[in-house]
Amino acid sequence: MRELEERIARDGVVKAGNVLKVDAFLNHQCDVELFDHMGAEWARLFSGEAITKILTIEASGIGIACVAARHFASVPVVFAKKAQSINLDGEQYATTIYSYTKQKEYPVIVGARFLNKGDHVLIIDDFLANGCALEGLIELCRQAGAEVAGIGVAIEKVHQGGGDRLREQGFRVESLARIAAMDDETGEIAFA
């Protein structure tokens, strides 16, 4: 998606440790019009799938997924929580994932009543690096008996291999911007 790549080239900042900072438009300050265009693109790409639910993970995924949902017919958005809370009652599906940016493990949890057998789930997230976050969401779908109809990612860092590993497992992964390499010394970003 050219618009997203141009925005990354303009406002993205490459940090040490292979981290791309996109807080000016994606995961701190949010460009809702850009989110809307991203949602339209995922709706076009997944138009052949009868999506019944969009699943994402807090916090950055929520805004992106909610705006995207406007392009799908009456599809609720469910976001996995990263911590237990008094509001998380009843049966739950849960697993543990490793955070690339925070370099630690944390739980991902959804209430069982929001993810069901028979659901055709579109998983949406902001970044795909090693694939741990998405694997956690896929595992929640597996526990629920829901089918993963597709995975929509805003930015895939192709060089980290997570996307290819998921595709090898048979998942359809559609990334709107694909980064092949980044250099934190020059600030250069090469798109795949």
Closest CA to 34 of 10, 14, 58: 10
Go through 161-186 and write b for each residue having 16 or more CB atoms within 10 A of its CB, e for each that does not. Answer: ebbeebeeeebebbbbbbbeebeeee
Stretch near ligand 5GP under the rule CB under 6 A, chosen from 44-52, 87-95, 126-134, 138-146: 126-134
Give the length of the chain: 192
Contact with ligand 5GP (CB under 6 A): which of 54, 119, 122, 131?
A: 131
Contact with ligand 5GP (CB under 6 A): which of 20, 80, 158, 173?
A: 20
The stretches of the chain forming alpha helices (DSSP H) are 2-11, 32-45, 60-69, 132-144, 162-168
Contact with ligand 5GP (CB under 6 A): which of 129, 137, 138, 173?
A: 129
The yes or no reply on residue 181 touching ligand 5GP (CB under 6 A) is no
Closer to ligand 5GP by CB, 118 or 121: give it.
121
The yes or no reply on residue 130 touching ligand 5GP (CB under 6 A) is yes
CA distance 136 to 141: 9
Binding pattern to ligand 5GP, positions 38-77, x when CB under 6 A?
----------------------x-----------------
> Counting Cβ atoms within 10 Å, is residue 93 exposed (0-12), middle (13-18) or buried (19+)?
buried
The yes or no reply on residue 19 touching ligand 5GP (CB under 6 A) is yes
> Counting Cβ atoms within 10 Å, is residue 134 exposed (0-12), middle (13-18) or buried (19+)?
buried
The yes or no reply on residue 156 touching ligand 5GP (CB under 6 A) is no
Name the residues that contact ligand 5GP, by CB under 6 A.
19-22, 27, 60, 100-101, 125-133, 162
